[in-house]
Amino acid sequence: MGNSKFLSSLLLLAVFLATGFFLISRPTENFAPEKIKSVKIAGQIIQVELALSEMERAKGLSGREVLGDNEGMLFIFETPGLYNFWMKNMKFPLDIIWLAPSEGGDTEGMQVVHIKKDARPESYPATYGPDENAKYVLEVNAGFSEKNNLKEGDRAQFTF
């Protein structure tokens, strides 16, 4: 009888550990990009507006008069790719920052894979893009990257 109780406890412990391992090993399924509130990058916290749909991504910041300090727009794509951006209908210059998930996936943070500094409205119809796949693109006021010494390889973190 004592042996049976020990085996039951051991089986219960094994089930508990297996369930915990299963939940820990699948963190990206809990990742909800639509809940991102800000991006921590270059020691700064940027409050972001999200561009999730194709229509929102196409419009971006076009037509907007200004973008506040420590504000930006985060473009979220379904899959990593070579996404190009232009300055169509823009009224102010931007720094455009391409981000790719770190090796651990979206929940482990992002890595800067490309930066276009000081993209100017008059540059349209020129396009800018990375040589490496990215899944996210962050647009901030021009000068942000220079002021904060941001460079390729730097890390970024989403906050919810």
The Cα 159–Cα 33 span in angstroms is: 10
Task: Pick one of 1.10.10.60, 2.60.120.1140, 1.10.1520.10, 3.40.50.150 as the CATH number of 31-159.
Answer: 2.60.120.1140
The model's pLDDT over 9-19, given as tens digits with 9 standing for 90+, comes to 444 444 444 44
pLDDT of res. 5:
64
- Alpha-carbon distances, residue 122 vs 88, 89, 110, 119 (angstroms): 9, 9, 30, 9
124 close to 48: Cβ distance less than 8 angstroms = no
* Residue pointed to by tokens 């196409």: 58
pLDDT of res. 103:
79
pLDDT of res. 121:
98
The Cα 54–Cα 131 span in angstroms is: 22
pLDDT of res. 24:
39
The model's pLDDT over 114-147, given as tens digits with 9 standing for 90+, comes to 999 999 999 999 999 999 999 999 999 999 999 9
Q: Is 69 helix (H, G, I), strand (E, B) or coil?
A: coil
Hey, where are the domains in the chain?
1-30, 31-159
Q: What is the mean pLDDT of residues 110-116?
A: 98
